[in-house]
A and B are shown apart, each in its own frame.
Chain A
Amino acid sequence: MLRRRDLLLGATATALAAQLPAAADEPALSRLPGKRALIRRAFRPPNYETPLADLVPAFTPNDAFFVRYHLALIPEIDPRTWRLSVGGASAAHPLVLSLADLHEKFESVTLAALNQCSGNRRALFEPRVPGVQWGVGAMGNALWRGVRLRHVLERAGIIAGALEVWFKGADRPVLEATPQFQKSLPMDRALDDSTLIAFEMNGAPLPRWNGAPARLIVPGWTGTYWMKHLTELRIEPQPLTNFWMKSAYRLPAGAFPAHFASQDTAETVPITEILVNSLITAPAAGRLLHRGEPAALRGKAWDNGAGIARVEVSVDGRRSWREAALGRDLGRYAWREFSLPLDTSHAGQLGIAVRAVSRNGTQQPDRLTFNASGYHDNIVQTLNVVVA
């Protein structure tokens, strides 16, 4: 039986369209300037999802990379006049940096990392939850080039007692009364060597819709911290208290990993690290395999940066499991490709399930841990394929 979940996980419209439920769930493709056709979840603010086919390459092309905004006023920034201010109550020497300063005054580093929206797969939640109804493509893997956030903060002089780094981007709300998008990171995460201010993505300047001219890269943590169009960093001795920290992007305490103590309450904690997960990119849901023809199961697996230990595949409805072959290691924060040949010598149905296991000791669960915001859907993905 074909379920909505299977369709969202992989089906292209094709012959299955007739069986689809309400039209509201059908993805509409459309283009933002400079992007190829993506799945439109919303025009304004722009929220566009990467189609499954564009999640196949090891690095997601810039023009196919998903777009996610909360606020609708998105300026086009001249990189020559862009400035990043670095200050705050815990900064001894506030400074202002240009893009040229970032290039010339700091060591530049390149790092492969997956960026995944906190709400990726929200539309798969059962029961349904409100929010942008993302399928599986609110994520992508890219090679980011920039400077270490640590080096920039150290240049500003971190005073003892610094607790968080607060940061702002240039996007703005339509109404003055709407809170600007501002987030923070705990000091240890801000000072982690993997946390970058990036100005390049896959060898090209950041695309406008992905944060030009510079954005934060917080590998292993969900996209909400990867501030686009970065304009301000503040080193502060106090926790940031605004809607985006205190009300949004939170999870029930105790249900998931938490790494942001200064923002915890007894009831809820901020979402932080990405959970171990995987995505089947081939075959597509509902795809008919021809008997005797070579076929392979392919996909991607990722986690919080610990690294994928193995990917286990079942083709008999989770009764037995085999290990898939892992592709090239692109770096611990990148996704890892996996593949396994499928036996097509007998006609019948293959009940496929994929389960990624992380070196951090976790693996994908069978059951969803429900949370009202629709975060962290990393349950084992299943797929039925017919051989005939």
Chain B
Amino acid sequence: MRGAGRLGAVLALALLGTPLAVAADSEALIQLKDAPGREVTAAHCAQCHSLEYIPANAPALDRAGWQKTVQKMRERFGAPISDEEARAILDYLGTSYSGKS
């Protein structure tokens, strides 16, 4: 369970440098559910934001909602996610973090 969330956070903090080294320990404690696609999801998403956005938004999103979100991150925010990676991320989020009822 420790791998991806911590990896993502460490990667992100390395990119960040010093300006925002706040709550680093706590951010590293955010763990995503263990399922296929977790590593690629954590590595990409944590580049720009902490991973808690994923569980926090789960109640508002289903697979279609995540599809829009991933598309927004790629097209509007310029996240360097390949088509193949986007499919893996969407499969992961759509399966593990779709809480919209």
Known: A24-B58, A133-B56, A133-B57. A128 touches B76 (CB 8 A): no
Q: Give chain B nearest CB distance to A78 CB in angstroms.
A: 13
| A-contact bits for B1-41, CB 8 A (1 contact / 0 none) | 00000000000100110011011001100100000000000
B94 within 8 A of A: no
Q: Give chain B nearest CB distance to A48 CB in angstroms.
A: 10
A79 within 8 A of B: no
B43-78 residues at the A interface, CB under 8 angstroms: 47-50, 52-53, 55-61, 65, 69, 76-78
B100 within 8 A of A: yes
Roughly how many angstroms separate A131 CA and B59 CA in the complex, as a whole number?
Answer: 11
Chain B interface mostly helix, strand, loop or mixed?
Answer: loop
Q: In the bound complex, do residue A128 and residue B60 qualify as a contact, i.e. CB atoms below 8 Å apart?
A: yes
CB contact between A44 and one of B20, B57, B59, B65 (< 8 Å): that residue: B20
CB contact between B22 and one of A46, A75, A129, A174 (< 8 Å): that residue: A46
Q: In the bound complex, do residue A173 and residue B60 qualify as a contact, i.e. CB atoms below 8 Å apart?
A: no
B residues adjacent to A (C-beta < 8 A)? 12, 15-16, 19-20, 22-23, 26-27, 30, 47-50, 52-53, 55-61, 65, 69, 76-80, 99-100
> Which 10 A-B residue pairings sit nearest by Cβ, starting from the closest?
A177-B78, A128-B60, A43-B50, A44-B50, A130-B60, A43-B27, A178-B77, A174-B48, A130-B57, A43-B23
- Kindly list 16 other residue pairs between chains A and B, CB separation below 8 angstroms, not including A42-B49, A247-B76: A22-B99, A24-B55, A24-B99, A42-B53, A43-B23, A44-B20, A45-B20, A46-B20, A131-B57, A132-B56, A133-B60, A173-B77, A174-B12, A174-B48, A177-B78, A243-B76
